[in-house]
Each structure stands twice: as structure tokens, then as C-alpha cells.
Structure 1
């Protein structure tokens, strides 16, 4: 089913189907036959890795929750035999029923043994860490076992310059999985919603507000860099990222530099053991940050980190930030 054109030669795989109906979370999923082969093999290039598929994968493991949601939205959710990061409660309502029917393999990433035991024919990751070589689940290692892989291009190492990257990823996944219509409709919906927010700001004639995106950290604050989805969200939301340097989606900085750049707004990414409330409380008492216009004017927006990945959730974070910073562009609502 899958052939990777590289130094590794892989045999054609048998394709196994999946039946999710009536399967409660954590139960084994039974195979139900093979998938129909493509009329012509489908070849894609993902993160400079070329692969050819003879038929749509039928046993998929999704490694990140935004990947799981995306595959369900495209129409391939019934082929997901297991997922990583499956314990989240904040699931998109439109996919919640199917999401919770998929076995959660681990609180974070499944082990190599868990992956192999499920006999997948495809593993899809939304972050580079999904294919961590040190954890034994690199793309090379999986593909050597005849398991195809796909990584959302935000983490291919070239940043996320525009929505064209999302369009390409979704188009490729749609072709490989045989769900072209669903993938295209999802990409169009995301692009349309993002453009609608930007057009509202442009029509109102608003200017971007210098913004500090606070991921976390006290001794060394972490923020978003000039590449990645976070930068793109800021551009569409009228939140001008004050740290556009660097070639990574996230970077560390210093409070002294933040004091020099005087952010007029702060976007707090909500996740992990430290709550958004605690992050805000720390910023307000931090000696340098307390002097910035953002803190003095209490112009702080909270956005879940889950809304900062390559998925339909970017439309939610973009609108949330835009409405908070530029209410006049939305009728003051």
C-alpha cells in the first residue's frame, strides 16, 4: 500500500479496515477487510520525504489531539485505531462523539511497542516530538517496519509562512486517505474564517498592537518566534508579535528585552500545570513587566495552547484575540 522512495525499500502492505461503531474508549478495534486500491498510485512529498501509496491507509494512529480532530473532520476518523494525547476534555463539539470512541493509548505519546502492537499502516504526527528518535519512534524506524508516516508541515523546520502550507498538508492527506472532498472543505472553511477576521480589521482601519505572546517561564520567559502558527495567528488577529526573530516557533527571551520592547498587549497561552491565572498574576508582579503598557492597562488575552496548532482551532484563537484587542472592528462586541 505504501512505498517510500528512499534508501529503505519497503514491501507492499496488506490493508486492514477498522470498525469503530459500538466500540467504547480503550477497547480493541477489530479489522473488517481491506481498502480499495487507488486507480493510480498516489505520491506525495512531506517534509522532503517522498512516499507512494497504492491504497488509502486503513489503520491510523494519530499522535496529537489536533491531528485526531483534523482527521475526523476530514472524514477519516473511523480508521483511527488509537491516539496519543487522548485525555483532553476540551474537544471540538463537532468531533467529540467520535473522538471519545477512539482508544487513548497514552496521556502523551504511545510507546514504540504500543504502536507496533496495533499494526497500523500509517502514523500521523502534529509535532516533531511525535517522531522522537530518542524514544525509538522515528519516521525512519516506523517506515522500516512498513508503516507510513506524515508530519504536519508546521514542524518540518521551515516555519508556517502562510495558509498555503495548511492547504498543501490537507490536500495531501485528503488524497492519501481518499477523503479529498472532506479535506478540501475543511481547508476552505479555515481559510475563509481567517480571512473574514482579517477583513473585519482592515475595514475598521485598525493598526496592529505590539504584543507579547507569553508561553510561560519565570527565570526565562518563553514566547513565540517569527515563524510558526503563532506568528500567523498574530498577523491575522492584529496582534503584532514583538519577537519576530529566530527560526523556531518558540524561543526564550529575557525580561530586560521585554522591558525595552514595551508590549501594549499580552496573549497568555493556557496549558500545563501553571494556570493562566497564575501566569497573569506573575506578570503583574514581575518588576519589569509591571511597567509595560500591557500590564498597566490590563490588556491581556487568554487563549488555550490547543488553539495554536495547525488545525481548524486557529480560527478560534484568531477571532478571540482580534475581538479582545480590536472590539471596535466587531461592533464593540
Structure 2
């Protein structure tokens, strides 16, 4: 009789208790990282990685961000989401910056807040209980990987969703973006050679550009073009101007950030006699993408739509 009286009470107590979440393991470059519980004091580095966190509405799990104002300007879309969070370091953080913030999670990448052999790496932070998730695009700096597709960015969002237990948000975003891409690609011209495209980030003596393993290659291909530097086995790297001129891009993507404006970069290309016979320069065919849109993050799909409209005007 006593058992029958207690059983409903015990059941009610169990139902009222918070659900216990099982540990989550995700692949991060060449590591597997296990989270016993969602991070509570996260830090993200760089504007695009920070926007991934904001897209999943994880501000309340963050203690700050790093690596934005030292190179870039925070636009209004990003500023609104960050207003309650401090910038802990204008450029790459030191180990002490993360320890002083009592961080338990660092979302960064190789050359996006970490350097190979540097002070801040997954290995150097592990003894302090700070777990690291690495941006998938950046894994090429420490391991072999396939040329990126937009799935690289989607995987990062889905993994963040699992780490922070907001899978529904992540899956909804990725489903929407996949649908947008499918709609766009159904409208692209069929049966013709893809447009030849060059990515111009910065530099005058030698251009800094995106090679095969940078996300712009995936974005350009999704928009119906081909990166003329797709044979360069790097993500972002410096090249010489000679192959750019020889490969004669039909469109040039200008990455907009830093002290040199997009307009100044375009003027440099148009005013230099060496580029006068390049199709993109002759036809004034430039597409400007902000840094945050040209690196892996939530603005990639919108940027692909902008690229496609510029590559194939009047057809979309």
C-alpha cells in the first residue's frame, strides 16, 4: 500500500527534475572533442565565427569575443548582437586573456585566432579546462582535407548546435540555407563554361588571394563560377600577378576590410596598365564582399546570391 502511495510522488519528482544530457562528441579537424555539458563561458575569435555564435543565439553562453577591431569594423548587424559582450582582445588572444575571462570554450581556427606552434592551441588550453572547436575550413593548415564545399560551414553550425544543445536552431538554419542554394542553382545557366573569377583580398606588389582550400572557392562554384587559383593548394595565400593576368579573370571579387577600401583596391586594378587587358578590368566587373561574407559564416549564402547575380546578370 505504501508503494502505491509513493510511486506517483516519485514519478512527479522525476518529471520535474531537469533532463540529464548525455556527453556530446564532435569531430574538430583531426581530433574528437567530448563535452560533458554545454559550455557556459565561451569565447569566439574573428567576426565570422562570432556571427555563427550569434546566429545560434548563444550570447548568453559567452563571456566575450576576440580578434575583430584590430583588423575590421563591426557593422551594425553585428554590433546589435554584441552590445552586452566585451571584446577581450582586438587581435588574437593570449592564453592569459582566455584564462582571465575564465573561459571554458574557445571557438577559433588556424589563422583565425590560433597559429600552428603558437601560444594558443587546443593542446595548450586543455590543461586549463578550455575546450576548443576548430573552424573546418582552417583544418587544411594541420591536416589533409578535401577542397571545401558549403557543407564545411554547415558542419560547423551543426556541431555548435550539438555542443551547446541547440540542435533545432542549427538544423533549421542549415535547412533554410540549403533550400536557398538549391533554388539559386536551379536558375543558373546550363551547358556553358563557368565564369573565370579571381579573389582579390589585398596587396599591391603581390596579391593575397584565396586558393583551392578557402571558402570563396566553394562560394564561387556555388554561384556558377570557378576560382582561377583553384590549383593553388592553400586556403588564403600570396601569389604573383603574372598568373592572374595570364588566366584572365572575367570577374574579380574584392574582399572589403581594413584600411584600404574596396574602392581603392578597384582603382589600383583599373589604373595599373598591367591589368588593362584583363577582361574583368576592361568590363568593370567587380563584386565587393565584406570580409565577414567572404569567410565561413552565416552571410555566405547571401554572398553567393550576390556573386551569381553579378556573374550572370539578368538570368536570375
TM-score w.r.t. the length of structure 2 is: 0.85
Q: Is the 8 A contact 1:64 1:127 kept in 2?
A: no
The answer for the alignment partner of 1:229 in structure 2 is: 215
Q: Is the 8 A contact 2:196 2:227 kept in 1?
A: yes
Residue 180 (structure 1) shift: 0.6
Q: Is the 8 A contact 1:307 1:314 kept in 2?
A: yes
Aligned residues: 292
* Equivalent-residue separation in structure 1 for 2:104 and 2:294 (angstroms): 28
Of 56, 70, 80, the residue aligned with 1:74 is 56
Give unpaired runs (5+ residues) of structure 2.
1-17
Residue range with higher mean Cα deviation, 162-171 or 78-87: 162-171
The answer for the alignment partner of 2:32 in structure 1 is: 50
Q: Is the 8 A contact 2:150 2:219 kept in 1?
A: no
- 1:7-46 matched pairs, under 5 angstroms: 38-46=20-28
Of 132, 136, 147, the residue aligned with 1:153 is 136
* Equivalent-residue separation in structure 1 for 2:115 and 2:67 (angstroms): 15
- 1:228-247 matched pairs, under 5 angstroms: 228-247=214-233
The answer for the alignment partner of 1:197 in structure 2 is: 184
The answer for the alignment partner of 2:7 in structure 1 is: none
* Equivalent-residue separation in structure 1 for 2:40 and 2:90 (angstroms): 24
Q: Is the 8 A contact 1:214 1:267 kept in 2?
A: yes
Q: Is the 8 A contact 1:59 1:120 kept in 2?
A: yes
Give the 3 Å change call, closer, same or farther, for CA 50–37 of structure 1 in structure 2: farther
Residue range with higher mean Cα deviation, 251-260 or 135-144: 251-260
TM-score w.r.t. the length of structure 1 is: 0.81
Residue 139 (structure 1) shift: 1.4
Residue 102 (structure 1) shift: 1.1
* Equivalent-residue separation in structure 1 for 2:119 and 2:19 (angstroms): 31
2:276 is paired with a residue whose SS is helix
Q: Is the 8 A contact 2:65 2:88 kept in 1?
A: yes
Q: Is the 8 A contact 1:38 1:56 kept in 2?
A: no
Once the two structures are superposed, residues 33-92 of structure 1 have per-residue CA deviations (whole angstroms, 9 ceiling, x without a partner) of xxx784322122211111221111111011122222211211322111010134433243
The answer for the alignment partner of 2:11 in structure 1 is: none
The answer for the alignment partner of 1:288 in structure 2 is: 274
The answer for the alignment partner of 2:289 in structure 1 is: 303
Give the 3 Å change call, closer, same or farther, for CA 144–91 of structure 1 in structure 2: farther
* Equivalent-residue separation in structure 2 for 1:72 and 1:256 (angstroms): 41
Give the 3 Å change call, closer, same or farther, for CA 319–297 of structure 1 in structure 2: same
Bigger Rg, which one: 2
Residue 131 (structure 1) shift: 2.1
Of 254, 258, 281, the residue aligned with 2:244 is 258
Residue 325 (structure 1) shift: 2.1
Give the 3 Å change call, closer, same or farther, for CA 328–207 of structure 1 in structure 2: farther
Give unpaired runs (5+ residues) of structure 1.
1-35
